[in-house]
Amino acid sequence: MSVTASTHDEGSTAVVLSGVGKTFANGTEALAPLDLAIAAGSFTAIVGPSGCGKSTLLRVIACLAAPTSGRVERRAAASPQNTGFVFQDATLMPWATAAENVALPLRLAGEAGTDIEPRVAEALKRVGLSGFGSAYPRELSGGMRMRVSIARAIVTAPRLLLMDEPFAALDEFTRFKLNDDLLALWQQNRWTVVFVTHSIREAVFLSERVIVMSPRPGRIVEDLVVELPARRDSALRLGHAFADQCARVSQAVSLAMGEDVPERAAS
Amino acid sequence: MRNVGSLARAGLPVAFGLMVLAMWELAVRVNHIPAYIVPGPLAVAEALWSSAPELIEALGVTLEITIAALLLAAITGAGIAFLLAQSRLVEQTLFPYAVFLQVTPIVTIAPFVIIWIENIFVVMLILAWMAAVFPVISNTLLGLKSADPNLKELFRLYGASRRQTLLRLLAPSALPYFLGGLRISGGLALIGTVVAEMVAGTSGTGSGLASRLLEASYRLELARALACFVLLSAAGFLLYLTLDALSQRLLRHWHESARSAEP
């Protein structure tokens, strides 16, 4: 595996995967060799059925797993400080307050204590948790815990934000609210976001581009541009255009799973 | 309703104990059993009262060794667990010896330690430590291995050093397990000290409460021997309560085991 990083090439590509494949030690082929380029500042969703290797793909991009073939080139995110990762569970340290959890990446980087406090307060404010800094994780709801997790990922002002089914464990109301807030944050900051989900509605609502993966070994079977306005809000979910886009992705997923595709209703 | 419940929780065991003691006293009196065979609880209380200063001083000696051994077990047990957690190979090589330490009855090792080491305080300390250390080792090791794998990945992602991972992730993850081990070790340290005192055969002034218990029983002063027994049990119970309170205090904000302490 090779990871190269350069600060040039701004404004074009953030991540380039060439021929990246992953076979586990037990011989299971998780990812068939694939090529993928992700534009800087874009919001990309990866969807697919369980076990299609979408989480593995994300972990390879994060350098948490080494590919068994091919190369990963990360242009916008040279250092770990430039990458934020959000897991499916909030993955907080239960013994530390919300503020201490958010401060973790800064502390691990050895930043001075006086610099940390205002940045943590700012990150908590951006996820709507001002005033909850001294709460312990068990005193917070599932949605609030996930907000702390997002604050921790954005506190380093990352260029690349990787999210692995972050809202899968939440109820639909909380999930919609977090989708709205995440979208607003992205529209302000324009990080490069790669968002893994198994919810088609979530993928279509959030992203500019949806990548559909097939079951094991994972490969990219469809790469769709979401044809929806750039500025989105929760009202969008109610419209026909949104339903149409969901149907498109849904059809691609059915094809990826080798199912018979039902006739699409005329739109 | 809740107050009645908590009152009953505290009152019921006490009432039960008093009832058993009353039946015991009654049985001794009705059957005219002599005090050198079975003394009644009142005779035990009398013995406890009349030689209180002497017995409490002896208890102090026993507790000194117990607490020293417990502290030593806490420090070395945690240290050994950290060492074993460093690699699977180290653990596989050394853990069987920790088990060996646990399953060997310390009474059988005591004669050797007494011959090899002159200072009787050190002998008792070593024996009590041997009795107490294993729960700390095995529990802390389990705790170190139970750290959330996602948090471990997060630490890796942010380039955490070995030291940072140890202090910020592994040590706090292991803390509830360590404290659970310590609660068991408290009782074991006391048992170890008592066994050591009995085997070492210390006697006279400056000896511990277990030695006094043996002395008294040799002289058939059973009331006095039972008074020693009562004090030792009370000390063990108090030790447990102290360690439990320490555990609750350290974990109250986050661990499930301390949840009931929340208002």
Best interface-test mutation with B: which of A58, A104, A152, A155 has the largest number of B CBs within 10 A? A104
- Assess whether A26 and A102 both reside in one domain: no
Q: How far is the C-alpha of B91 from the C-alpha of B79, rounded, in Å? A: 13
Q: How confident is the model at residue A267 (pLDDT cuts 50, 70, 90)?
A: very low
- Assess whether A143 and A191 both reside in one domain: no
When pLDDT is averaged across residues B59-85 and rounded to a whole number, the result is: 94
- Assess whether A114 and A241 both reside in one domain: no
Q: Which pLDDT tens digit goes with each residue over A55-91?
A: 888 988 888 888 888 888 887 555 656 889 999 889 9
Domain termination site, one of A100, A129, A158: A158
What's phi and psi for A24, nearest 5 deg? -75, 165
Closest by Cβ to B157, choosing from A64, A94, A95: A64
**Which range is most confident: A29-38, A250-259, B19-28?**
B19-28
CB-based contacts of A171, cutoff 8 Å, min separation 6: A142
The answer to whether residue A119 is domain-embedded is: yes
The answer to whether residue A83 is domain-embedded is: no
Please say whether the dihedral angle defined by the alpha carbons of residues A27, A31, A35 and A37, taken in this order, is positive or negative.
negative
Asked if B150 and A94 come within 8 Å (Cβ–Cβ), the reply is no
- Assess whether A237 and A137 both reside in one domain: no
Predicted ipTM? 0.83
The answer to whether residue A261 is domain-embedded is: no
Rg (CA), chain B: 23
When pLDDT is averaged across residues B39-61 and rounded to a whole number, the result is: 93
CB atoms inside a 10 Å sphere around CB B123: 21
CA distance B9 to chain A (A): 28
- Assess whether A126 and A99 both reside in one domain: yes
- Show the tokens assigned to B144: 């170190």
| Residues A192/A197/A199/A205 CA torsion (nearest 10 deg) | 0
- Assess whether A170 and A61 both reside in one domain: yes
Asked if A64 and B164 come within 8 Å (Cβ–Cβ), the reply is no
The answer to whether residue A212 is domain-embedded is: yes
Please say whether the dihedral angle defined by the alpha carbons of residues A121, A124, A130 and A134, taken in this order, is positive or negative.
negative
Question: Would the pLDDT of B48 be above 80?
Answer: yes
- Assess whether A38 and A108 both reside in one domain: no
Best interface-test mutation with B: which of A63, A86, A108 has the largest number of B CBs within 10 A? A108
Q: How confident is the model at residue A1 (pLDDT cuts 50, 70, 90)?
A: very low
Residue for token digits 């030291």?
A: B163
User: Higher-confidence residue: B14 or A2?
Assistant: B14
Amino acid in position B241 = L
Here the CATH number for the domain that contains residue A185 is: 3.40.50.300
When pLDDT is averaged across residues B44-72 and rounded to a whole number, the result is: 94
For B37-261, the fitting CATH number among 1.10.3720.10, 3.40.50.300, 1.10.1040.10, 2.40.110.10 is 1.10.3720.10
Instruction: Please state the domain extents for chain B.
Output: 1-33, 37-261
Closest by Cβ to A93, choosing from B151, B153, B157: B151
The answer to whether residue A194 is domain-embedded is: yes
The answer to whether residue A263 is domain-embedded is: no
Average pLDDT across chain B, whole number: 89
pLDDT score at A261? 58
Name which of A214-218, B17-21, B36-40 the model is least confident about: A214-218
Structural domains in chain A (count): 2
Domain termination site, one of A111, A140, A158: A158
Domain termination site, one of A158, A185, A201: A158
For residue B166, give the DSSP letter: I
Q: How far is the C-alpha of B254 from the C-alpha of B256, rounded, in Å? A: 7
> Hey, which residues 83-112 in chain A have their CB within 8 Å of chain B?
83, 85, 87, 89, 91, 93-96, 104-105, 107-109
Domain carrying residue A121: 92-158
Nearest chain A residue (CA) to B147: A93
CA distance B158 to chain A (A): 5
Q: Which pLDDT tens digit goes with each residue over A97-156?
A: 999 999 999 999 888 778 899 999 999 998 889 889 999 999 999 899 999 999 999 998
What's phi and psi for A226, nearest 5 deg? -80, 120
The answer to whether residue A177 is domain-embedded is: yes
CA distance A33 to chain B (A): 24
Closest by Cβ to B158, choosing from A93, A96, A109: A109
The answer to whether residue A87 is domain-embedded is: no
Asked if B150 and A80 come within 8 Å (Cβ–Cβ), the reply is no
